[in-house]
């Protein structure tokens, strides 16, 4: 449980401005309002926001196609990090994945992103490969990390 009283909510258009702020403060190539709006129309998308005092302070988004899940992103506003919010978001995505009987949930992460790598390892993701020069601004390789589900 996060150390502050957050609520997890499925993404709605009202939450999108807050999610854009989370992106802008977290990434060198942030998702835009239009990017989030497209996900509202996407049947494969599962996007969940962490809301504190009516403000979106973090989110996770993944796509499920057949029995495969792919995390698009997870991020928390800098001033709300290390409070357990990503813990809650990732746990919720894992629970949803299990409800959907996915075989795995997979993602890419910058090799230098030790905070995110520690988060994923904590929840059973394994490094299964890498993608050379996957990221730009700055150019960097990615690890592919996957959490497998058994039922």
Catalytic residue annotation: 108, 120
Examine residue 4 and tell whether it contacts ligand COA (CB under 6 A). no
Q: Are 73 and 62 in contact (CB under 8 A)?
A: no
Q: Are 121 and 87 in contact (CB under 8 A)?
A: no
Structural Rg of the chain based on CA atoms: 15
Examine residue 51 and tell whether it contacts ligand COA (CB under 6 A). no
Examine residue 8 and tell whether it contacts ligand COA (CB under 6 A). no
Q: Which of residues 87-106 bind ligand COA (CB under 6 A)?
A: 87
Q: Which of residues 16-35 bind ligand COA (CB under 6 A)?
A: 26
Which of residues 122, 128, 129, 148 is near ligand COA by CB under 6 A? 122
Q: Give me the residues paired with residue 59 across strands.
A: 49, 75
Examine residue 74 and tell whether it contacts ligand COA (CB under 6 A). yes
Examine residue 81 and tell whether it contacts ligand COA (CB under 6 A). yes
Q: Are 10 and 47 in contact (CB under 8 A)?
A: yes
Interface size with ligand COA, residues (CB under 6 A): 19
Cβ neighbours for 85, distance < 8 A, ≥ 6 positions apart = 2, 4, 6, 50, 57, 58, 76
Examine residue 64 and tell whether it contacts ligand COA (CB under 6 A). no
Q: Are 133 and 140 in contact (CB under 8 A)?
A: yes
Examine residue 9 and tell whether it contacts ligand COA (CB under 6 A). no
CB-nearer residue toward ligand COA: 75 or 93: 75
Q: How far is CA 1 from the centre of its chain?
A: 17
- In the complex, the residues that contact ligand COA under the rule CB under 6 A are 26, 74-76, 81-87, 109, 113-116, 118-119, 122
């Amino acid at each position: 449980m996060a150390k502050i009283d957050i609520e997890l909510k499925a993404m709605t258009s009202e939450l999108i401005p807050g999610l854009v702020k989370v992106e802008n403060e977290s990434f060198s190539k942030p998702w835009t309002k239009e990017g989030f709006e497209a996900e509202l129309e996407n049947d494969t998308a599962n996007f969940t926001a962490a809301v504190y005092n009516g403000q979106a302070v973090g989110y996770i988004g993944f796509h499920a196609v057949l029995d495969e899940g792919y995390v698009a992103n997870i991020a928390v506003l800098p001033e709300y990090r290390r409070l357990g919010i990503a813990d809650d978001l990732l746990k919720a995505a894992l629970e949803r994945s299990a409800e959907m009987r996915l075989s795995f949930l997979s993602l890419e992460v910058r090799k230098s992103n030790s905070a995110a790598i520690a988060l994923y390892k904590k929840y059973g993701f394994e490094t299964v490969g890498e993608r050379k020069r996957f990221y730009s601004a700055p150019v960097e390789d990615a690890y592919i990390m996957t959490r497998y589900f058994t039922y």
